[in-house]
Amino acid sequence: MNTSSAIFLVLGFLAVFMFLEGLYLLWSDPKALTVKRVRERLYLLAASDKAQLFPSISRERRLSSDARLNALLAKLPKVSAFDTLLLQAGSERSVAELLVGMGAGFLVGLALGVLMGIGLGWSLVLGLTIGLLPVGWFSLQRTRRTKAIVSQLPDALDLICRALKAGHALSATLSMVASQAPQPIAAEFKTTFDEINFGVSTKKALLNLALRVPAPDIRFFVLAVSIQVETGGNLASLLGILATLIRERFKFFGKVQVLAAEGKLSAYILTGLPLALGGMIQLANPSYMEILFSDPIGIVVVQVALAMMVIGVFLLWRINNVRL
């Protein structure tokens, strides 16, 4: 057995092992939910310092269900960015599960590259691409969830305004949003209401809300309430103006999207036309494009063309991506 075969077998074994470990974590995590809740309650009951009790209730997030692995991950730099990503995506998965998925994807991509014989460099690129797919998935989930919450925010602000005008306290209005508003905004306001009930200050609970939902509109809401709590004022009127402002911004953004639709359609056509045309030629006459993949100069031409297409797609995306 030569060295490359041995390396391939080792990588294949590690990829299968990591894949099975990820499946086990996905299966066992819901089963252990009750056990983890009991363990957390016992930990809170055993805490003797009251000053440390409330922060653990409001912000403690475990990077792994295993205590030793949790302590190890906490020492790694930048690992909190993955935890923040999962928090903002509304996922119940831990950082350890995310890292296992990324590692398994990297090994699978590396093994596929070695199996296809595309070279070590391209195998590493393929492994990194597949390994980063979980991060891309959770980033997409974060974007969708944030957009859903922002679209529901004006109605939630109107509900808070009506409740404040009726004489309810701010914490009671948050509870109303948690019980009457649709998901996912109801879950976020419920978390904020629970933190306030546990003893966390209103300002701190609202800052936690802004951390979980990375949207400017949520920050405006948090800033308005924080200023009102410290200085006083007519919070109902202020939130009503904020709700109207958000709705008007949505209308203006819709008009901009209509005006940018032509540019986006052009970008889709310019991106897909070369690939579609090349695929049709390859199906109709495979020998016509064979020189591009067999001759060294043809391979360089294909690589340069793909690199220029990627740059063009990026530039078109930046031109048509209007953010307000």
What's the rounded Cα separation, in Å, for the pair 277 and 129? 26
Residue 87 burial by CB count (10 A; 0-12/13-18/19+): exposed, middle or buried?
middle
Which helix (H) or strand (E) covers residue 230, if one does?
A: helix 216-231
What's the rounded Cα separation, in Å, for the pair 259 and 255? 6
pLDDT given for residue 323 in this prediction: 64
Supply 102's token pair: 């990324």
pLDDT given for residue 62 in this prediction: 62
Q: Where are the domains of the chain?
A: 3-131, 149-252, 260-320
pLDDT given for residue 12 in this prediction: 65
Q: Which whole-number Å values give the CA distances from 322 to 257, 264, 317, in the listed order? A: 8, 11, 9
Question: Considering the entire predicted model, what is its pTM?
Answer: 0.65
What's the rounded Cα separation, in Å, for the pair 103 and 25? 14
What's the rounded Cα separation, in Å, for the pair 254 and 232? 35
Q: What superfamily would CATH give domain 149-252? A: Type II secretion system (T2SS), domain F (1.20.81.30)
CA dihedral 191, 197, 200, 201 (to 10 degrees): 100
Which helix (H) or strand (E) covers residue 32, if one does?
A: none
Residues 92-126: pLDDT tens digits?
Answer: 787 778 888 888 888 888 888 888 777 777 788 88
Contacts of 56 (CB under 8 A, 6+ apart): 43, 44, 47
Run means of pLDDT, 10 residues per run, the chain, 324 residues? 61 64 57 52 46 44 62 70 82 80 85 79 83 87 89 89 85 87 88 86 86 87 83 81 87 81 79 83 80 80 84 78 64
Contacts of 108 (CB under 8 A, 6+ apart): 15, 19, 127, 130
